[in-house]
């Protein structure tokens, strides 16, 4: 299978997983309408999806660094969809939290291994990793459309239909896993060793920038539907449009990020994107009327230009722990911000939603300041994976560069 086809299938599979992260926010207006949840209550649902995911993703990253686990891609995809499908069936708030948390664990298990597989199949290409990330963005963008089509017509009782993308995504993983096995060989660990030292200090700074970016994205994802109704009117339709714009702009940003990184270095591209995001978030919070949607789109693009760049930067800062790097930079980017959502919801309940969202303007400022201190890493050279066959040891080139074991 060609690299393009492998990345395309992996990208579509990524969409079938991340649609469930977008689905949590998309269900918020329906939980409010059918179950009369307040801002704090719906923030708790977002938190349930985020907190286990935030904790579990580094754990899965560590496991991925120790053992290749490509089988986890279809399994985690189904788990992510099943949790969301069950969340609408019970009026019990604790059960809703449990099912949403189950979905979060599925999403957490998917991202570290998928980032490792994408790095192998893309052979270090920034553009290919950008297209892989686009899949997740398209999944987010499809979430409000899917939820509106299913739930708006028949209520939360139709939520089991939401499992269908997960079933499709799990099937799409299978040819990718066969291609990976052919590439690495049946007896290999599934990936190349690397030459290079970990830059833990830079990775910590990068991770903090990711956290601040995540707070903006998840905070807006949670409340943008409700906020749009206040800023432009139009009821739930206005909210669905705002959420779709927030998510679809991410696809544009991810493609642009990979292309821009081929012309300028990744740190510079990310730094300028965060400067754009500062003004865009301010416009989203304070500018009313139709221009609101334009600022939402600019916010999304600004947040997602560095999205795939975070992943490759993290993997280059931690060349010996690419699974952990992928779990933190790819997974936590869209989950850990949920930890701040209950605080935003509580402030909104006590004051107003605009007052609660205003501090989000500070988050891209902090990410920009951190990127001003980061170096552009040199991509490490992969060492070919080795598999034992009888008395002979076969070396297989799995990256774009080759360095023989034990030699220079």
* Residue in the structure block whose two tokens are 């990256």: 399
Q: Is residue 407 part of a domain?
A: no
Phi, psi torsion values for 378, nearest 5 degrees: -90, 125
Q: What is the CA radius of gyration of the chain?
A: 21
Q: Are 200 and 377 in contact (CB under 8 A)?
A: no
Weakly modelled stretches of the chain, pLDDT under 70: 1, 54, 123-126, 183-196, 234, 330-336, 338, 378-408
Q: Which residues contact 222 (CB under 8 A, 6 or more apart)?
A: 25, 28, 42, 43, 46, 338, 341, 344, 345
Reported as a single tens digit per residue, the pLDDT across 217-246 is 888 887 888 888 887 776 777 888 888 888
pLDDT of 177 reads: 80
Strand 392-396 relative to strand 385-389, pairing = antiparallel
pLDDT of 78 reads: 92
| Count helices and strands in the chain by DSSP H and E runs | 15, 4
Q: Are 59 and 366 in contact (CB under 8 A)?
A: no
Which one, of 187, 200, 400, lies nearest residue 319 by Cα?
Answer: 200
Q: Is residue 404 part of a domain?
A: no
Q: Is residue 206 part of a domain?
A: yes
Q: Are 364 and 281 in contact (CB under 8 A)?
A: yes
Q: Is residue 113 part of a domain?
A: yes
pLDDT of 184 reads: 61
Reported as a single tens digit per residue, the pLDDT across 331-360 is 666 666 767 777 888 888 888 888 989 999
Q: Is residue 400 part of a domain?
A: no
The token pair at 146 is 């899917």
Q: Is residue 159 part of a domain?
A: yes
Residue 340 is given by DSSP the state G
Q: Is residue 402 part of a domain?
A: no
- CA 232, CA 293: separation in Å to the nearest integer? 9
- CA 40, CA 301: separation in Å to the nearest integer? 28
* Residue in the structure block whose two tokens are 């280059």: 316
Q: How many domains does one find in the chain?
A: 1
pLDDT of 383 reads: 46
**Residue 3 CA to its chain's centroid (Å):** 22
Which one, of 92, 93, 184, lies nearest residue 383 by Cα?
Answer: 184
Q: Are 137 and 250 in contact (CB under 8 A)?
A: yes
Domain of 188: which CATH number?
1.20.1250.20
Which one, of 34, 9, 5, 39, lies nearest residue 225 by Cα?
Answer: 39
Q: What is the CB neighbour count within 10 angstroms for residue 401?
A: 15
Residue 156 is given by DSSP the state G
Residue-number span of the structural domain to which 287 is assigned = 3-385
Q: Is residue 394 part of a domain?
A: no
Length, in residues, of the chain? 408
């Amino acid at each position: 299978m060609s690299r393009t086809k492998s990345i395309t299938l992996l990208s579509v599979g990524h969409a079938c997983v991340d649609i469930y992260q977008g689905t949590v926010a998309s269900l918020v207006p329906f939980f409010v309408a059918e179950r009369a949840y307040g801002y704090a209550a719906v923030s708790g649902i977002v938190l349930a999806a985020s907190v286990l995911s935030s904790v579990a993703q580094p754990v899965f990253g560590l496991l991925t660094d120790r053992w290749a686990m490509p089988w986890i891609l279809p399994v985690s995809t189904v788990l992510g969809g099943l949790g969301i499908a069950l969340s609408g069936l019970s009026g019990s708030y604790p059960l809703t939290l449990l099912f949403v948390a189950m979905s979060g664990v599925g999403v957490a298990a998917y991202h570290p291994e998928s980032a490792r597989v994408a790095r192998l199949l893309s052979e270090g290409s920034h553009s290919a990793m950008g297209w892989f990330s686009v899949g997740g963005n398209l999944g987010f963008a499809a979430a409000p459309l899917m939820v509106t089509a299913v739930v708006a017509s028949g209520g939360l009782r139709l939520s089991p239909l939401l499992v269908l993308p997960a079933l499709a995504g799990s099937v799409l993983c299978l040819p990718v896993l066969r291609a990976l096995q052919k590439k690495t060989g049946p007896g290999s660990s599934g990936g190349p060793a690397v030459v290079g030292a970990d830059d833990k200090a830079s990775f910590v700074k990068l991770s903090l920038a990711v956290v601040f970016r995540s707070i903006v994205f998840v905070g807006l994802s949670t409340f943008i539907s409700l906020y749009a109704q206040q800023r432009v009117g139009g009821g739930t339709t206005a909210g669905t449009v705002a959420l779709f714009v927030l998510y679809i702009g991410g696809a544009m940003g991810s493609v642009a990020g990979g292309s821009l990184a081929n012309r300028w270095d990744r740190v510079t591209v990310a730094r300028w994107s965060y400067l754009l995001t500062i003004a865009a978030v301010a416009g989203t919070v304070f500018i009313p009327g139709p221009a609101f949607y334009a600022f939402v789109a600019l916010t999304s693009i600004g947040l997602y230009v560095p999205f795939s760049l975070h992943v490759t930067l993290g993997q280059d800062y931690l060349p010996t722990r690419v699974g952990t790097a992928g779990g933190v930079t790819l997974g936590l980017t869209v989950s850990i911000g949920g930890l701040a959502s209950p605080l935003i919801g509580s402030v909104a309940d006590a004051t107003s939603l605009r007052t609660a969202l205003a501090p989000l303007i500070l988050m891209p400022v902090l990410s920009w300041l951190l990127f001003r201190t980061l170096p552009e890493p040199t991509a490490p050279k992969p060492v070919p994976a080795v598999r034992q066959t009888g008395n002979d040891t076969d070396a297989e080139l799995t990256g774009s560069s080759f360095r023989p074991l034990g030699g220079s």
